[in-house]
Structure 1
Amino acid sequence: MDSSSMKHFRRCVTCLLDLPDEIFLLICRYLSPADVLYSFYTPSKPENRLHRIIFDYYTKIKLGGITNKEYIYLSSLFCSSKDSPRLQSLVLSNEHATSLTQRYFIDISASIIQSMLTNLKHLKLIDCLSEDLTFLYIYISNMKQLESFHITYRKLDEKTNMIFCQRSNVSINQFLFDKILPSLNTVSIELNDGLILNKSLVSHHNLRHINLNLQTIDDLYILLDGLVPNAQTMIIKICQSRILNCLRPKNTLSCPKLIEFTLLEPRIGIVIDNIKCILGCMPNLIKLTLSIRDTPDSTFCRGPLFESILNEDVRHLRQFDYTMTHRIVDNTLIEDFIQWPME
């Protein structure tokens, strides 16, 4: 091949640097995140285009479902004082093996872990154990910039789950209400038997978006009694029907900024007075979603009556999504179910 042919050949060859950013990122999807970092992460030359394109890969890292080789490489990155990524988002997963969350950090010094968490804004724990949260709590003072915290807990057998839940409740409440995470504004906690709250907890004024599994409606009353006064959206699932004290909120209008509220209750025997008490705390609600299952209170299926209650308690309501099942007894008549036009 002569020189002119060689030049023509080179002009016809496309290399990675010739590709648009979007196409390059599509190619990266066929690689593991560790392989992408190994190939294109060049912190010593941050001006490199490919290094800049893979920004999400070295600021948003998931530790879970990775090979031992990938783990060794990522650990070496974290342990490097010069090349350690400045994490903004971290996902720790125990889905594929037990207690991996703690093992990920076993070979990393405390100072490196602290530096990893300093810039962290989003933390997600998948298939979490109470020990994981206890371990992370050691470094909670290094997570001042944390904005969102998402936990899904591992499902355990009933006996183990009881001990596990007791430990988890303490750890979660420390994370949320010890005034150590001032930037935290979004939380999602999926605890199997529901989170237990107590009246001694300190209010968190920065929490805006809340998604919680709570154990009983008493825990919801505590939450609404000034614990999250600036909440804007809230999704609550009540896990158990046991009502201990009926601790109705003393502080009415305690969530004046709440505009979206969802309540999911799987057959806890909720009655209309519970709903009126809850709605009384959120006068500026715009969107309401209720899922009421197997309720003994027929008010929930009396459309006009229920509508009048909503008009009285949440006057700014614009959207209402409603699912309800009512327990039918022998003396229930078809006439008892009145069509609700929702006009």
Structure 2
Amino acid sequence: MRSPASFELFPDEIILCVCQYLREADVLYSLYNLNSRLNTTITGYCRYLNLMSVSYKQFEYAVFHVLPQIGSIVRTFVLNGNWETIINTELSSILFVSRLSSLFPNLQRLIVKWFTSERFLSFVDTLQGFSQLMELDIRFLRGNTAGLLLQKILSANIHFKKILSANNSQLSIVSFDQDSVDLDISDEINMISYPNIQELIINLTFSKLIPCLFVLIPNVHRLHLNIDELSSDSKSKLIDSNLSSLVYLTIFQLRSINLFWTFDEIAYLLKAMPSLQRLGLDMRTDDKRLVTEKDIMTILPASLSKIDFFIRYYFSKSKSDVNEEHTFSSTHIPVACLLDEPRHRFLIHSIPYDLNSAILTASISRQMLSGWKYMKQIKDLYIYDITSTAEIILILQHFRRLRTLTIDAKDKSEKLIVPKESQSIDFKLPFLKQIETSGIFELFPLLNVAPNVDYLIVYFDCLKILLDDESTCHLLQTRIVRLNIMDWIDIESELLQRISHVFCSLRHLVITLKDATVSIDEFVLKIISLWKGKTRISIDVTGVLSEEICKNLRQWIIDHSHIKTEDSFTVEYNENWFDLWF
């Protein structure tokens, strides 16, 4: 009889194939330092280091024993701001107090998530001494008030310098994702420029701040602006301000879907971009000149080689535009024109549409062009005012490369199922990782074509429906590792037992109670007990814990659950959130 083959006898190619099914931290925890050959094999996993979605035991081991040995290899590191308050003092001192440059001397890109604006400003002070750090990627930055961060930053001037001049002004790329707080820039100070910044993605509170921003970044090559300002009669005129020319800017993208833009305003912006090569516009307007080819061509820079746009053009009820769809055709730029009659607007977009995100109303589902390639770059899609699951499927067949999907029902109380005629539509979503729902949906058709979904955000009422369907449960069983449940209604519900039985691979459970004033003492213990003997899990629950329990929360967990003193875990209760990392 042959002896079992050792894992070490497999060639590197096979070992790396196995590693593809594991998270980076799992690879390091399982294979690093077993021998020098395996260390060499998994070197690639050391370059991008993400310790999120792992057990606390793995996290402790990685920080104490692995990071000190591989720090010089790491090129990208993901740092979660939520860790600082929940991990022990020794771990916190390594990641948040001491300079990261001593741990990661060759770091090139730092991704920071879930910081508060105030704490982030303090953290930026530690970003010094990196010889290669060029990119700061900021995600889910939180603030108590929209614009809090840069109101504080620019009122004192020195604080804004902390961000753009971090690491001795060696940063060239700074980005804030769309889930981060909108930022404000004071125009009452002496503006200081930051010529080191070549790429910037930023969320602004108001369009009137654009001239101030242009002064700050004179050498920018790539600029993405997200502006969530709402239209109002008091809107300040952008063209009343002096606008510095960005002579090096080659890529510009504007996303502003709540503000009505005029032709003159867009013309004024583009005039300040003499070297522009790529332009992206995701916006709304009621100025017909912005959707008329002969007018648009007069304001585009001569250097422009590509334009992508998604324009929501609103027409008056009294006008005849609704019968003039053919007027939006173009000889230079292929376009599609979709009528959204309930909102008195046309949705006009370029073909192909090569921006990364899109927000669509479900009513245009039957008007979209066949074939997915003209929308192949879209990674994040939000569909709203959905009245039928058929609308979702008709739209999704055009978005093969989606990574995140949000679906929002018009009637949140109505159960939306898939009609028989839609079940025959053949489509695949092989890259989809996250589904967020607002409403009650039948999700089997989506999960069935999206084998890599591992993150589900769902409301309590919708989850009850999903868990009543065995076919859906079978798909959820091994795929979902993170589950967020919104508006949990009944803390006595037996749904918890069903969840613990179905979601066998779950690593992170987040429950937001509809009534956050409810006592969760027993509810928390019930959750912990249901995962006894299963995969280690992180738990976040909103609600009220008894004051007596909060005095020694860790000991209370040990006294009332299967978790032992010697187990690696950490727990906290902060701002009405109970957090357990096990």
Tell me which residue corresponds to 1:76.
Answer: 64
Q: Deviations over 1:174-218 (max 9, x none)?
A: 343336443322221136452223454432223222222122112
Q: How does 1:174-253 map to 2 (within 5 A)?
A: 174-178=161-165, 180-190=167-177, 192-199=180-187, 200-225=190-215, 227-241=216-230, 243=235, 246=238, 248-251=241-244
Give RMSD over aligned pairs.
3.2
Instruction: Tell me if the contact between 1:149 and 1:188 (Cα under 8 Å) persists in the aligned partners.
Output: yes
1:14 shift after superposition: 4.4
Tell me by how many angstroms 1:275 deviates: 0.9
The answer for the alignment partner of 1:19 in structure 2 is 10
Q: Note if 1:273 corresponds to 2:264.
A: yes
TM-score (normalizing by structure 2): 0.48
CA 1:26 to 1:167, structure 2 compared with 1: closer, same or farther past 3 Å?
farther
Instruction: Name the structure where strand makes up a greater proportion of residues.
Output: 2
Q: 1:51 aligns with which of 35, 39, 42?
A: 39
CA separation of 1:273/1:184 partners in 2, compared to 1, >3 Å: closer, same or farther? same
Q: Distance in 2 between matches of 1:259 and 1:68?
A: 45
Can you list the C-alpha shifts for 1:272-291, whole angstroms capped at 9, x where unaligned?
A: 22111211121121211112
Q: Distance in 2 between matches of 1:240 and 1:182?
A: 31
The TM-score normalised by the length of structure 1 is: 0.78
1:129 aligns with 2:122: no
Determine helix, strand or coil for the equivalent of 1:266. Answer: strand
Q: Unaligned stretches of 5+ in structure 1?
A: 2-8
State the SS of the aligned residue for 1:136: helix
Pick the aligned partner of 1:88 from 47, 51, 75.
75
Partner SS state of residue 140, structure 1:
coil
The answer for the alignment partner of 1:41 in structure 2 is 32
- CA–CA distance in 2 between the matches of 1:192 and 1:316? 33
Take 1:189 and 1:76, find their aligned partners in 2: how far apart are those partners?
A: 30
Greater share of helix: 1
- Mapped partners of 1:198, 1:143: distance in 2: 30
Paired residue for 1:5? none
* 8 A Cα contact 2:25 2:51, kept in partner: no
1:71 Cα deviation from its structure 2 partner: 1.9
Give the unaligned 5+ runs of structure 2.
Answer: 333-582
In structure 2, what is the equivalent of residue 4 of structure 1?
A: none
SS in structure 1 of the partner of residue 309 of structure 2: strand
> Can you list the C-alpha shifts for 1:298-329, whole angstroms capped at 9, x where unaligned?
2213221222222xxx0121212222222222
Q: Is 2:145 the counterpart of 1:161?
A: yes
Give the drift of 1:63. 3.0
Seen in structure 2, the aligned counterparts of structure 1 residues 291 and 186 have a Cα distance that, compared at 3 Å, is: same
In the aligned structure 2, how far is the partner of 1:319 from the partner of 1:32? 37
How many pairs does the alignment contain?
Answer: 315
What code does the residue aligned with 1:189 have? Answer: F
**Residues 141 and 193 (structure 1 numbering): CA distance in 2 closer, same or farther, change over 3 Å?**
closer
Give distance in 1, aligned partners of 2:110 and 2:122: 14
Secondary structure, aligned partner of 1:69: helix
1:303 aligned to which of 289, 293, 312: 293
Q: Where in structure 2 are the equivalents of 1:281-300 lying within 5 Å?
A: 281-293=272-284, 295-300=285-290
- How far residue 237 of structure 1 moved from its aligned partner, in angstroms, is 1.1
More off after superposition, 160-169 vs 296-305: 160-169
SS at match of 1:211: strand
**Shift in CA distance, 164/222, structure 1 to aligned 2, threshold 3 Å:** closer
Q: Give the distance between the partners of 2:162 and 2:41, measured in 1 at CA.
A: 34
| Aligned match of 2:252 | 261
Which amino acid in the other structure matches residue 236 of structure 1?
A: L
Relative to 1, partners in 2 of residues 1:21 and 1:232: Cα closer, same or farther, differing over 3 Å? farther
Q: Give the match for residue 305 of structure 2.
A: 318
Conserved? CA contact 2:25–2:58, under 8 Å: yes
Contact 2:147 2:205 survives alignment (8 Å) = no
Alignment correspondent of 2:419:
none
Deviation at 1:66, TM superposition (A): 2.1
Q: Deviations over 1:240-290 (max 9, x none)?
A: 147557463443xx3222222111111212212211121112112121111
Distance 1:228 1:324 in 2: 27
The range that moved more, 163-172 or 141-150, is 163-172
SS at match of 2:212: helix
Q: Which has the higher contact order (CA 8 A, sep 6+)?
A: 1
- The AA in structure 1 aligned to 2:106 is N
Cα contact 2:267–2:299 (8 A) shared by 1: yes
Q: Secondary structure at the match of 2:13?
A: helix
Report the 3-state secondary structure (helix = DSSP H, G, I; strand = E; otherwise coil) of the residue aligned with 2:294.
helix
